[in-house]
Amino acid sequence: MLPTAAYAKDDKPVAAKSADAYIPFVNHGGVRDWRADGDRTIYFQDAHRRWYKAELMSPAFDLPFTEFIAIDGGPSDRLDSFGSVYVKGQRYPFRSFEAIDGQPPKKGKKPKAG
């Protein structure tokens, strides 16, 4: 008789990995709109009006004040977690890129004094 190792059975079901979020055809009208939220977060709206959240690896201090960004979708022509943006000529790669439910949060308005 040969000795064999006993393996513990894991009864937890393995969740199916969700598909990675991406926006196709970024150089051909795939991105409809974008919004900056501070210096590390950008929300993108695709041509089908779905929203995505991108977190930058480093702060882009000009991001809250800029009116133009360049999107680098790479040779695949899609915006995903490997994408990046250019703000005032500086490249900022993404730390994460994910689809969100609904619209991005609105910037809070200060209550009127009086």
Cα–Cα dist 27/8, whole Å = 50
pLDDT of residue 18: 45
pLDDT of residue 106: 84
Averages of pLDDT over runs of 10 residues in the chain (114 residues) are 54 48 94 96 97 98 96 93 97 97 78 52
Range of the domain at 54: 23-99
Q: Could you tell me where the beta strands, DSSP code E, fall in 1-112? A: 23-24, 31-37, 41-46, 51-56, 70-72, 78-79, 84-87, 90-99
Q: Is 41 a domain residue?
A: yes
pLDDT of residue 108: 59
pLDDT of residue 107: 73
Hey, what amino acid is at 35? Answer: R
Q: Is 66 a domain residue?
A: yes
Q: Is 15 a domain residue?
A: no
Q: Is 107 a domain residue?
A: no
On whether the CB atoms of residues 97 and 103 are closer than 8 A, the answer is no
CA–chain centroid gap for 83, Å, is: 9
pLDDT of residue 4: 57
| Count of structural domains, the chain | 1
Q: Is 114 a domain residue?
A: no
